[in-house]
Structure 1
Amino acid sequence: MAQGYRQGADTGLDLDAWRRVVDGFHEAVVVLDPEGVVRLVNPLAAVLIPEARPGSTLPEAVDHGRHQDLGGGWSAWYRGVDHYLDEAARRLSALTERADTLRAVVELAPAKHSVVVLPGVRGRLEWWRRTPAGDVAVARTTRQVAGTVAGFTDVLDRLVEHAELTDLGEGPWGTSGTGLAVPLTEGGALVCFDGTWNVDLLKRFAARAAAAMEASDRFVQQERTVDALRTNLLPATLPDVPGVRLARVYEPAHRRVLIGGDFYDVHPREDGSAAFVLGDVAGNGLEAAVHSGRVRQSLHTLLVVEQRPAHLLHLLNSALRAAGSRLFTTLVVGTMMPVQAGGLRLTLAAGGHPAPLVLRSDGRVDEVAVHGGIVGVLAEVRFHQTTVTLAPGETLLLYSDGLTEARKHGDREQLFGDVRLKAALAQCVGLPAEAVAQHVRQVAFEWLGETEHDDLTLLVLQAES
């Protein structure tokens, strides 16, 4: 190739000689002058390095392949087909939304103009293509429009491996001329115009594009499944209960799916009382969330026939064991009833769960001594219940062990612990329920910093003053 360089000539390279050589290359070739301006682009480079245009400079942030010094300040970039396909596959694999993936297929396809045709809803076709403004848009037509393009339905139906489309019929191609069509996904095709006309290249690109599209479709289906499950697994909005202010904090370990093993519920009754629960299933993520949903549903059903907290836990333990429960569950259940003179009377029972805390009006923090074994594991397990009275303005705090076991940022050996929790709660004298919940949350997350945490849940019950 160095023979194309004319020693001592003011023009540097003999570009005509170079063009005759590199036009037949199976690599994309771009030649730059000493000023970094593109002077030569072979046909494959026009497709594989579309940002390389004669008279322009190459963006530094773009990977153009292999670089070579040609002498005299001139240089060349070479990009092989495999390099281009690997880069396209990498960029496509990072996308999860169907529309984003299709836009990227149109933009990355090895042609100056490309169209993706796919089956749509109700037997229609979608035509994804570039607009004159340079962005990607979609048009929708009936399936019959494809039949106006000679040979195109054979590609859509995979009767042929490729076809030249010379008569474009009524399709919304957004361009004119001759297109080369290859199958894409089931019932779909990739059509390229003004490209390299290398059928093997188009097929290999289409295979990678099809894999990315199928992956994004699977991801969308998984997201829809998770959303459907999440609708039933997310804790319900706190209801209005006479004489009570309610607040909560719900911070799952997996924030992206917004569900975990912690749960809470409040069930008002017609007599003005209400049942409440806060629990924690071993583990976190989707499996724990599904089990917590099972526990919540079981409790909701059992509350129809039993309202005494300790007896309710006995029934729940039997129900979970009969259902083949394999995950440990700890929880506090209780009932609350407004007192005529003011305040609340609470009856509570617990199964293996951290003791609830009561914030008194003088700033004292009391533990509620209520004990019981883990639920859903052993046939013989004991539960005890106790009664607590809240004066107007006093607060009961239920919480999961994700709070007390939160690890300090910068020192994972230190846990938040009971002492810090009681101190944080004691600072909340006179605050309404929502402010109590947010203060405890703030103190906990200042302790955590940016470190990971387990599911972390609080439920605040406050007697109206």
Structure 2
Amino acid sequence: MAQGYRQGADTGLDLDAWRRVVDGFHEAVVVLDPEGVVRVANSLASVLFPQVMAGSTLPGDVAGGRRQELGGGWVAWYRGVDDHLDEAARRLASPTERADVLRTVVELAPAEHAVVVLPGARGRLEWWRRTPAGGVAVARTTRQVAGTAPGFTAVLERVVEHAELTELGDGPWGASGVGVAVPLTDGGALVCFGGTWSVDLLKRYAARAAAAVESSTRLAEQRRTVEALRANLLPTPLPDMPGVRLAGVYEPAHRGVLIGGDFYDVHPREDGSAAFVLGDVAGNGLEAAAHSGRVRQSLHALLVVEQRPAQLLHLLNAALRAAGSRLFTTLVVGTMLPVQAGGLRLTLAAGGHPAPLVLRADGRVDEVAVHGGIVGVLPEVRFNQTTVTLAPGETLLLYSDGLTEARKHDDRQELFGDVRLKAALADCAGLSANAVSDHLRRVVFDWLGPAEHDDLTLLVVQAAPRTA
């Protein structure tokens, strides 16, 4: 330290005089000796950069200001308030998660210690503050705690533009002394302790911080809304059923939202039977996903009054048209009933959908001849149904045209097609339902490579193998 001051004297720098001069500047000023050690920091620098003090090294965020050589290796750094606030706004805009934004607000606040108080869940308050270890922690209290600090509730309710908190009450401030509170977001406040330069600076910082907090809060609410809606559009977990093995693949075209126009469902009944469906709404993305949700809900309701697949499709067609459906849907609906001697008896009906496939025990693949018109568009549509029996270990495959119309990664004109699908299914003889779905998914995605694809969905229904 003494050597540093001698260096100052040797170069003609009167540090005491420098301090008196720069304290009147409207910029933060930091003077460093040739070794990079802080020798002078004016009042504003101490507010904008609380970690700057005589004998410390220069923090990286100060280096973003204006630099001036003073001679003999001595350097002065200048940082204007507007520049500092603009830089804070840029840094606050970087994180998108609400918690990360609040941590950044606390870390960048122009004070030795900052606390952000915000409305929380169930009418409580959140208190975000610096910790002795240098991190940021959050505590939660009732709203009544704010009233134990005289004048603070008035700031939270925006009755006043700022308040000095001389009595801190029971709040988890993590600091002592006098705090200066200014409004932040609606029902929130920024409270700073230690060397506050001006209330105007805190207000200007709080305005930028509030914009970042409100943006992250809106984004979080939107994400919660999307997650809630998406949860109702994703396939439900496949049930465990005696005598049946089930597996599925669901790969939407739009991976960002994880939902699409394809869907499948299995609805068990108390008698051990079940209804099942796999469908494909025209198009993909959010509009198709929303329509698939309507189709699924309609089917779920109609199953209460009708279990026969062909009649169920007639009712669904009428219901969708009555609701003003503009998108057509193709689907296969079926019922399954375990047979006492082993195996499953299936009754199937289809509306404009690719024919189901059956993998027999000897590796043969049969196509189930079941036909019908598309659903939800025309007033008069014919649907027929057929019955198929699966011996123990045999498998029924329902799939969307995303499989057969998958385009080869190095030749976008060539489709995966029915022949390759049947061959891939034949390779699954003797495999479990999960192994069948995994194999088909792998084969199709090897074909696709990294290329884009349509919604791609399949449902495997397998009669449980005989146990030894």
TM-score range relative to shorter protein = 0.7 to 0.9
Q: Is the 8 A contact 2:62 2:79 kept in 1?
A: no
1:316 shift after superposition: 0.8
1:398 shift after superposition: 1.1
- 1:213 aligned partner: 213
| Change over 3 Å in CA distance of 1:83–1:329 after alignment to 2 | farther
- 2:64 aligned partner: 65
The one-letter code matched in structure 1 to 2:67 is Q
CA distance in 2, matches of 1:305, 1:397: 27
The one-letter code matched in structure 1 to 2:181 is A
List gaps (5 residues or longer) in structure 1: 1-6
The alignment's C-alpha RMSD in Å is: 3.3
- 2:248 aligned partner: 248
The one-letter code matched in structure 2 to 1:68 is R
CA distance in 2, matches of 1:143, 1:344: 61
CA distance in 2, matches of 1:145, 1:107: 24
Deviations 1:163-202 (A, max 9, x none): 2333444444222233221111223221111244222221
The one-letter code matched in structure 2 to 1:289 is A
CA distance in 1, matches of 2:202, 2:220: 26
CA distance in 2, matches of 1:73, 1:229: 63
1:97 shift after superposition: 4.2
Which deviates more from structure 2 when the two are superposed, residues 265-274 or residues 180-189? 265-274
Show the 5 A alignment for 1:16-95. 16=16, 18-50=18-50, 52-58=52-58, 64-68=63-67, 70=69, 73-95=73-95
Q: Is the 8 A contact 1:49 1:64 kept in 2?
A: no
1:75 shift after superposition: 4.3
Aligned residue-pair number: 459
Identity rate, percent:
82
SS in structure 2 opposite 1:111?
coil
1:95 shift after superposition: 4.0
| Change over 3 Å in CA distance of 1:58–1:303 after alignment to 2 | same
CA distance in 2, matches of 1:250, 1:33: 64
1:334 shift after superposition: 1.7
| Change over 3 Å in CA distance of 1:396–1:13 after alignment to 2 | farther
Q: Is the 8 A contact 1:356 1:398 kept in 2?
A: yes
| Change over 3 Å in CA distance of 1:17–1:441 after alignment to 2 | farther
Show the 5 A alignment for 1:262-341. 262-339=262-339
The one-letter code matched in structure 2 to 1:332 is V
- 2:4 aligned partner: none
Q: Is the 8 A contact 1:348 1:387 kept in 2?
A: yes
SS in structure 1 opposite 2:353?
coil
Q: Is the 8 A contact 1:302 1:315 kept in 2?
A: yes
1:433 shift after superposition: 0.7
CA distance in 2, matches of 1:175, 1:304: 63
Which deviates more from structure 2 when the two are superposed, residues 272-281 or residues 36-45? 36-45
The one-letter code matched in structure 2 to 1:207 is A
Q: Is the 8 A contact 2:248 2:459 kept in 1?
A: yes
Which deviates more from structure 2 when the two are superposed, residues 321-330 or residues 51-60? 51-60
Deviations 1:388-410 (A, max 9, x none): 33333222111123333444556
Q: Is the 8 A contact 1:404 1:417 kept in 2?
A: yes
The one-letter code matched in structure 2 to 1:65 is G
- 2:3 aligned partner: none
CA distance in 2, matches of 1:409, 1:77: 57
The one-letter code matched in structure 2 to 1:23 is D
Deviations 1:400-448 (A, max 9, x none): 2333344455665554443443332222111111111111122233344
- 2:102 aligned partner: 102
TM-score, length basis structure 1: 0.85
CA distance in 2, matches of 1:219, 1:63: 31
SS in structure 2 opposite 1:226?
helix
CA distance in 2, matches of 1:153, 1:147: 6
1:144 shift after superposition: 4.8
SS in structure 2 opposite 1:398?
strand
Q: Is the 8 A contact 1:239 1:268 kept in 2?
A: yes
TM-score, length basis structure 2: 0.85
| Change over 3 Å in CA distance of 1:294–1:148 after alignment to 2 | closer
1:304 shift after superposition: 3.2
Which deviates more from structure 2 when the two are superposed, residues 364-373 or residues 108-117? 364-373
Deviations 1:340-385 (A, max 9, x none): 5543333322222223222233333333333333211222333333
SS in structure 2 opposite 1:296?
helix
Q: Is the 8 A contact 1:43 1:196 kept in 2?
A: no
CA distance in 2, matches of 1:192, 1:377: 64
The one-letter code matched in structure 2 to 1:162 is H
The one-letter code matched in structure 1 to 2:103 is R
Q: Does 1:114 align with 2:124?
A: no
- 2:426 aligned partner: 426
SS in structure 1 opposite 2:402?
helix
| Change over 3 Å in CA distance of 1:318–1:64 after alignment to 2 | farther
Q: Does 1:223 align with 2:218?
A: no
CA distance in 2, matches of 1:169, 1:119: 18
1:110 shift after superposition: 1.3
List gaps (5 residues or longer) in structure 2: 1-6
1:451 shift after superposition: 4.7
Which deviates more from structure 2 when the two are superposed, residues 178-187 or residues 64-73? 64-73
CA distance in 1, matches of 2:97, 2:459: 36
1:317 shift after superposition: 0.8
Which deviates more from structure 2 when the two are superposed, residues 140-149 or residues 217-226? 140-149
Show the 5 A alignment for 1:115-154. 115-120=115-120, 124-141=124-141, 143-154=143-154
CA distance in 2, matches of 1:103, 1:222: 21
1:21 shift after superposition: 4.2
| Change over 3 Å in CA distance of 1:272–1:136 after alignment to 2 | closer
CA distance in 2, matches of 1:59, 1:422: 66
CA distance in 2, matches of 1:63, 1:278: 61
- 1:440 aligned partner: 440
The one-letter code matched in structure 1 to 2:315 is L
| Change over 3 Å in CA distance of 1:203–1:8 after alignment to 2 | closer
SS in structure 2 opposite 1:115?
strand
CA distance in 1, matches of 2:221, 2:463: 45
Which deviates more from structure 2 when the two are superposed, residues 195-204 or residues 335-344? 335-344
| Change over 3 Å in CA distance of 1:367–1:210 after alignment to 2 | same
| Change over 3 Å in CA distance of 1:175–1:274 after alignment to 2 | closer
CA distance in 2, matches of 1:63, 1:386: 77
The one-letter code matched in structure 2 to 1:263 is F
